[in-house]
Amino acid sequence: MRELKNLMEAVVERENMLNALRRVVSNKGAAGVDAMSVDELKPYLQTHWGCIKEHLLEGSYQPQPVRRVEIPKPGGKGVRKLGVPTVVDRLIQQALHQVLSPLFDPDFSVSSYGFRPGCSAHQALCQAREHVAGGRRWVVDLDLETFFDRVHHDVLMSRVVRKVGDKRVLCLIRRYLKAGIMEGGLISQSIMGMPQGGPLSPLLSNILLDDLDKELERRGHRFCRYADDVNVYVGSRRAGQRVLDSIEKFLARRLHLRVNRQKSAVDRPWKRKFLGYSMTWHKRPRLKVAPLSVKRLKLKLKETFRRGRGRNLGKFIEELALTLRGWINYFRLSEVKGIFEELDGWIRRRLRLIIWRQWKRAYARAKGLMKRGLGESRAWESAANGRGPWWNSGASHMNQAFPKKFFDRLGLVSLLDSVLKFQCNS
């Protein structure tokens, strides 16, 4: 049943636009093809909003192309292509999202957790653990091949039109899909796909993939979906293979989407990762940080540590703390603590490496070690041992001179202490 014929009036309504403006400004973000920054948006609207509003209400508004931005994928394998809309288009998309989300979201599957109010990746992970604990100890890990690049515009719009009766809104959404991409000064037209980067794209992806959710529910499957990450939990490998084959056909026939067979698999949950986590093989499994997530953190931190050479240690640790707090806040559900202790030790060793290199000469190293409480004989012996910086950063003289409490006083975030504190307070 189609809802509300005058949705565009609700989109441009003053309170809705003010909420959208606050959201866009708080999210900041890069400029689009017109080079207008977020800080310039409000003054621009004070002059031009009347004209923009008139075009929206008439159904004649034309979005600008998105600016192509490529960011390295985690782990350095390939790039993720984002499309950055202009700040004005981000504002309009956000206003659309605020009006359309209440129409579609209540009917979405309870097993869909991505980009929905009141839902989170942590809820998806807890539900996945419950499915495995309930005896479904095989997972169908579905990877949709270049999902955002393969969205079929007509298929998507046929899902949007189920609840949107305002032709101006429908035309505007289609214009956003076809707005084109500017790359290297040239604009290419969009005949399929949906740019990642705009406020409306997550909602549109959920609208499209809701058909997949409903099909899995109709078949009685237990699953978790977060955006285009889909895990279906089954009781055997044979059942998993049947699900993979049949869902691949369903996606191709109904949604014109492809399953990436190289990245998809039927396997044990503890051999796969989901949203950066894995789990143990126990009857009552425990969540843990996936090995690839640990590898990605180390790669990111190594680059940070390279920038830390020659800098004040206290200031550098303040910068480091921002990354560590964000990381542990996401991985606080992990019930396997050993990796946090290992990472804490590795981080402290990297900081001791910076200190050792800053001392440069044997005389400065001996004086520095004595200042930190080592005896003169041991300090000189350690300073002149001829070993490399990495060996010395893990040696007993540096551990004694710079113990954990030294870094705690400087504000270094301990991953182990943080996760224990999170779980004690929960």
Cα–Cα distance for residue pair 422/426, rounded to 1 Å: 6
Can you tell me whether residue 36 is helix, strand or coil? coil
Per-residue pLDDT of the chain (426 residues; tens, 9 = 90+): 344 578 999 999 999 999 999 999 999 988 999 999 999 999 999 999 999 999 999 999 999 999 988 777 665 566 777 889 999 999 999 999 999 999 999 999 999 999 999 999 999 999 999 999 999 999 999 999 889 889 999 999 999 999 999 999 999 999 999 988 887 777 777 888 888 888 999 999 999 999 999 999 999 999 999 999 999 999 999 999 999 999 999 999 999 999 999 999 999 999 999 999 999 999 999 999 999 999 999 999 998 898 877 788 999 999 999 999 999 999 999 999 999 999 999 999 999 999 999 999 999 999 999 999 999 999 999 999 999 999 999 999 999 999 999 999 999 999 999 999 888 876
- The residues that bridge with 424 in the sheet, in sequence order, are none
Q: Where are the alpha helices (DSSP H) in 219-312?
A: 237-250, 291-307
3-state percent helix, strand, coil for the chain, nearest multiple of 5: 55, 10, 30
Give 371: exposed, middle or buried? Use CB within 10 Å, 0-12, 13-18, 19+.
exposed
Cβ atoms 113, 121 nearer than 8 A: yes
| Cα separation values, 314 from 171, 304, 355, 407, Å | 54, 14, 11, 9
Give the global pTM.
0.89
Cβ atoms 290, 273 nearer than 8 A: yes
Contacts for 16 with CB less than 8 Å, ≥ 6 apart: 10, 95, 98, 99
* Full DSSP string of 280-299: -SSSS--EEE-HHHHHHHHH
Can you tell me whether residue 61 is helix, strand or coil? coil
Smallest CA-to-CA distance from 250 within 222, 213, 220, 224 is with 213
- With both helix axes pointing from N to C terminus, report the angle between 415-425 and 338-359 in degrees, rounded to the nearest 10: 140
Contacts for 109 with CB less than 8 Å, ≥ 6 apart: 210, 213, 214, 216, 217, 225
